[in-house]
Amino acid sequence: MLNQDRLSQLKDLMAERGWDLLLFYGHSWRKDFFRCLINVNFSGPHALAAVDRSGEVSAVMSDAWDAEVVAACPASANFPHGLGQLASRRGSVAIAGVEMMETRFVRPFSNPVSATLAVEEIRRVKTPREMELMRKAARLADRGYQQFAKTIAAGMKEYELVAEVEAFLKSNGAEDNFMLIASGGTEVTGMKPPTERRFQWGDSVTTELTPQVDGYWAQICRTLVLGEPSAEQRESFAIFSEAQKAAEDFLRPGVNISDLARVQNDVFRKYGYGEYTGPKYTRVRGHGLGLHCDENPYVLEDVNYTVKEGMTLIAHPNTYLPLSGYMVFGDSLVVTANGCASLNQTERKLFEK
């Protein structure tokens, strides 16, 4: 529950920056800052973890049940009162996640500074225990996609398929699952929450499937065709596969994340599809993974960040091409001493059903 490895790093950070109190804010969607110190999946709308220079940890919760669950440290169930008590302490205050806080929660503190970027940087390199959980989540993502491919059928609605996959994942240990889907293949919008659209023969069906295990998310992106893929679908997928492999071959400690995006985009440029690498047709070429399913740094050509050993991220050249519409392809990766390794084991192919 209490991340002792992180606690030691956070104490060092406080000493380096001269902070007397370091807070970690979380709400119902973004629990990651709170959970990097106290790994509890709280149910209330707000939660705050606090650590002082001595390493003493406490928590302020907005739900009485959450306060009972946090057994690793003293916890208050009165959020406004707990905030007031923390604000009454003397010394400098830094808050990780302050950008997500409502003004009324920040106001009691005198000149707090943001610790968001500094804590994000610490979180990027996973501890051995965190890597164990990332691998567990990736194995579940593989099983989830197997269930996806097994269950899909022509005539089925998108939301029916997603419901089946969600049920499978949660019955096999997932806390949550972030999942996007698209079918038909010709739209430019890419993936979205499931709709009532029924799958049809010839559809290209894409999904990002991202289960969460003990707080940590791993993702897999694959494309499946209902029936025999067309020549255009096969040609399109070959480009996506080449782009993803270019990223995986390139990724290692010391490279710039902008170049990780560039080597993927260069594959599309080589085949004459450079115009489809921009924001009109795609969002990112990948992103960090961990306690949040869409962490910084984003894999984009205008993002300047040096990759470090022990980082976990996904490289996915997800975009629209006029050949056969939107396609996706990507695995969760861990950066190793000399390169990277995939956390997923699902076959790398254009799936057919």
Span 190-226, pLDDT tens digits = 678 899 999 999 999 999 999 999 999 999 999 999 9
Phi, psi (degrees; rounded to nearest 5) at 298 = -75, 145
Question: To the nearest whole number, what is the mean pLDDT of the chain?
Answer: 95
Q: What is the rounded CA–CA span in Å between residue 189 and residue 168? A: 27
Q: Which CATH number fits domain 4-123: 3.30.70.2860, 3.40.50.970, 3.40.350.10, 3.30.465.10?
A: 3.40.350.10
Residue 72's pLDDT is 76
Q: Is the pLDDT of residue 188 over 60?
A: no
Percentage of residues in the chain with pLDDT exceeding 70?
A: 98
Residue 176's pLDDT is 96
Give the 3-state secondary structure of residue 4: helix
Residue 131's pLDDT is 97
Q: Is the pLDDT of residue 332 over 90?
A: yes
Burial of residue 129 (CB within 10 Å: 0-12, 13-18, 19+) is: middle
Mean pLDDT score, 19-44: 96
Topology annotation, domain 128-352: Creatine Amidinohydrolase (3.90.230)
Residue 185's pLDDT is 66
Mean pLDDT score, 318-323: 92
Q: Is the pLDDT of residue 42 over 60?
A: yes
Beta strand pairing status for 113-114 and 93-96? parallel
Enter the tokens of residue 45: 């709308």
Mean pLDDT score, 152-177: 97
Q: What is the dihedral of CA 159, 165, 167, 172, to 10 degrees?
A: -170
Banded pLDDT at 184 (limits 50, 70, 90) = confident
Residue 192's pLDDT is 84
Residue 187's pLDDT is 63
Domain positions in the chain are 4-123, 128-352
pTM above 0.85, yes or no: yes
Cα radius of gyration (the chain): 22
Percentage of residues in the chain with pLDDT exceeding 90?
A: 90
Query: Any alpha helices (H) in 125-256, and if so which ranges?
Result: 128-151, 158-171, 231-250
Residue 70's pLDDT is 87
pLDDT digits (tens, 9 = 90+) for 242-301: 999 999 999 999 999 999 999 999 999 999 999 999 988 889 999 999 999 999 999 999
Residue 73's pLDDT is 86
Residue 321's pLDDT is 93
Mean pLDDT score, 6-34: 97
Banded pLDDT at 71 (limits 50, 70, 90) = confident
